[in-house]
Structure 1
Amino acid sequence: MTTLLEPGARVFVAGHRGLAGSAIARALTEAGHEVLTRTRDELDLRDAERTRAFLRDARPDAVVLAAATVGGIMANQRFPVPFLEDNLRIQLSVLAGAHAADVNRLLFLGSSCIYPKLAPQPIPEEALLTGPLEPTNEPYALAKIAGISQVRSYRRQFGRAYIAAMPTNLYGPGDNFDPETSHVLPALIRRFHDAKAAGREEVTLWGTGTPRREFLHSADLAAACVLMLREYDDEIALNVGCGEDLTIARLAATIAEAVGYTGRVAWDPAKPDGTPRKQLDITRLRKLGFEPSVPLARGIRETYAWWLGHSQGSDRSVGS
């Protein structure tokens, strides 16, 4: 099979300091590719003219757009404007700039929150735009849906080999553990760690614990992205997940065990649960040869160990 990403190709990874982007940059480097990066201080991707100039001068062979303003339910509710507008600006700048620089290969990372709140389970790619979104993250989801449409539009109008991936909930080394902006898995790691350190006998968590979620280690996402860059060329935005889900209550128990917290867990049903269930159908990705390799319990232990050694006091909410 002819590869769509030649050996040694130069790839600009936008968002290389975030959870997804850092894992993808490592995987591409290990695969023999030259990875180009810029920090947010060096290049604000919301600035269309500077982004266009950078891509024109750098002339990468491919672009991975992993930069985004991201966060959990609390952050989405408190900051809907940047979740919508920052992501739209980043996407418009990078895709338009890549096209202007004649970059023919691009991978856009979206999110599984693009799907309707009550989508069929596991969620097939065809479920996109078939029902109302989950209200708690609608602005972010709409921005990501716009990115998918932009990718398809460049394919249809200009014949670009641009593709999109829709990852499930991600976790791993480099995750964001900030108590106000983190996603559920790192947020729970921090809650149980703090409770253990303070000797608290009970931890109260949001919601009922009954929603089901799927979690993918960032290294598995990176492997899927490299595979897609090399072999996938279609306008369907591919689901990227592990093929299994579990309840938030079960996730909490697994994390508590990894952290060593032995107290009680209570639930606050007055707080939002979010989407009842969100498991992705990864049939198409598996046909490309992808299989996840990091079991959840092991990945949680490794992520907790990484945070203890590297990340306390350096939380962040934006992959840049």
Structure 2
Amino acid sequence: MSKDAKIYVAGHLGLVGGGIWRAFERHGYNNLIGRSIDEVNLINQQEVEEFFASEKPEFVVLVAAKVGGIHANDTYRGQFIYENMMIEMNVIHAAKEHGVKKLLFLGSSCIYPKLAPQPLKEESLLTGPLEPTNEPYAIAKIAGIRLCDAYNRQYGTNFISAMPTNMYGPGDNYHPENSHVLPALIRRFHEAKESGADKVVCWGTGSPLREFLYSDDLAEACVFLVENANYEDMAFTDESGTVQSHINIGSGKEVTIKELAETVKDVVGFEGDLEWDASKPDGTPRKLMDSSRINALGWQPQVELREGIARAYQDFLTRYGK
């Protein structure tokens, strides 16, 4: 793979996309392409087609998506399934039409059934009901995976899919209603600290187990896959006889939401109490990825959770803090 290969990172302004862009730069790639939503609206098929016809990228990393936490997923269900499916269909189809050499599609660990055996293996896809609160988002991501597999088999494309665990890091979304759990906790504890509040109340019981991966670790994994992995190498056949090519990317370590909140509380320096509102939903009880396939290929995460949270908090202070 040439260092001057034209690489399009769709969603390069977000948490994950920005990390992937920086990782490509660290590895010496000098011909990166990125467009904001104002420049190319990926929901619009004509705009996507015109962009691919004009720029002719050789490699594509599809990160762009409408994302959010439990509240956002459950509230904006129509937007989550429609916008994500349109983005995926438009970009993946245009990549096929314009002869892209390799496409990496990023999904999510929520594609797996709510009660799938843990750790979550790639073979568990479509073996049971999904978590209801984020089912529309999960269905959209599953459709993207299946489209890549279908195009590989019918048209001979080299489209692969990666399923990251819960991400966090520089550039994260700290919106008070639409953010994921870790950035939401950073914001809440920081605001409580600044206001002199005596307690922070968090949703649920704190008992669910979650896995977190620092965004730069995911970015390195994505560059690793673009450089080293092909559909033929990654393809496997599940118990139903279906050929699939997605691969998990996780840290391999899990913590309870309570342990996570206590770590964030300590890093931020909030000295008040932490309480739990058990009337609010917990979501999936446990979600740990089996990342043995990508580990066997030669990739391993580097940033420990507490260090990653400290870096993320410094990013928050730079962007929003006093």
Q: Give the structure-2-normalised TM-score.
A: 0.94
Q: 1 CA distance for matches of 2:106 and 2:32?
A: 17
Alignment match, 1:283: 292
Asked if residue 205 in structure 1 is aligned to residue 183 in structure 2, the reply is: no
Do the aligned residues in 2 keep the contact of 1:258 with 1:301 (CA within 8 Å)? yes
Q: Deviations over 1:95-115 (max 9, x none)?
A: 111111111210000000000
User: Does 2:132 correspond to 1:132?
Assistant: no
Alignment of 1:195 with 2:204, yes or no, is: no
User: Which of 262, 267, 272 does residue 258 from structure 1 map onto?
Assistant: 267
Q: Secondary structure of 1:238's match?
A: strand
SS of the aligned residue for 2:251 comes to coil
Residue 6 and residue 161 in structure 1: after superposition, are their counterparts in 2 closer, same or farther (change >3 A)? farther
Aligned counterpart, 1:316? none
Matching residue of 2:145: 148
Shift of 1:158: 0.7
Aligned match for 1:86, one of 60, 73, 83: 83
Is residue 58 from structure 1 mapped to residue 55 from structure 2 by the alignment? yes
Is 1:240–2:236 an aligned residue pair? Answer: no
Of 6, 9, 23, the residue aligned with 2:19 is 23
What displacement does 1:173 show?
0.2
CA distance in 2, matches of 1:219, 1:311: 21
Q: Cα–Cα, structure 1 residues 311 and 199, in superposed 2: closer, same or farther, change >3 Å?
A: closer
- 2: distance between equivalents of 1:106 and 1:42? 21
- 1:168/1:215 contact within 8 Å kept: yes
In structure 1, the residue matched to 2:283 is 274
Structure 1 residues 159 and 312: CA distance shift in structure 2, 3 A? farther
For the 8 Å contact 1:56–1:100, the answer to whether it is kept is no
Residue of structure 2 equivalent to 1:108? 105
Give runs of ≥4 in structure 1 deviating > 6 Å.
none
Work out the CA distance in 2 between the residues paired with 1:281 and 1:128. Answer: 13
2:98 and 2:321 mapped to 1: Cα distance?
39
**Contact kept in structure 2, 1:24 and 1:225, CA below 8 Å:** yes
Q: Distance in 2 between matches of 1:187 and 1:96?
A: 35
Which residue among 35, 41, 46 is the counterpart of 1:44?
A: 41
Quick check: 1:172–1:299 contact (8 Å CA) kept in 2?
A: yes
List gaps (5 residues or longer) in structure 1.
Answer: 314-320
Q: Residue type matched to 1:308 in 2?
A: L
Q: Displacement of 1:6 after TM fit?
A: 3.2
Q: Shift of the alpha carbon at 1:312?
A: 5.7
Counterpart AA for 1:244: K
Letter in 1 for 2:260: L
Kept after mapping to 2: 8 A contact 1:64/1:107: yes
Aligned to 1:185: 182
Partner of 1:310: 319
Question: How many residue pairs align between the two structures?
Answer: 309
Structure 2, gaps ≥5 residues long:
236-244
Letter in 2 for 1:252: A
Q: CA deviation at 1:39?
A: 0.5
String of CA shifts for 1:106-164, please: whole Å, max 9, x gaps: 00000000000011111111011111000000000000000000010110001111100
How far is 1:77 from its partner?
1.1
Q: 1:312 and 1:258 mapped to 2: Cα distance?
A: 14
Distance, in Å, in 2 between the alignment partners of 1:67 and 1:252 is 28
Deviations 1:256-309 (A, max 9, x none): 000001111111111110000000000000011111011110110111011111
Q: SS state of the match for residue 214, structure 1?
A: strand
Please give the TM-score of this superposition, normalised by the length of structure 1.
0.95
Q: Which amino acid aligns with 1:259?
A: V
Letter in 2 for 1:23: G
8 Å Cα contact 1:174/1:311 also seen in 2: no
SS of equivalent to 1:170 = strand
Pick 1 or 2: higher relative contact order, CA cutoff 8 A, min separation 6: 1
Equivalents in 2 of 1:23, 1:116: separation in Å? Answer: 28
Letter in 2 for 1:73: I
* RMSD over equivalenced CA pairs, Å: 1.1
Give 1:310 deviation, angstroms: 2.0
CA distance in 2, matches of 1:97, 1:212: 38
Q: SS at 2:61's partner residue?
A: strand
Letter in 2 for 1:165: A
Q: Which residue type is aligned with residue 184 of structure 1?
A: V
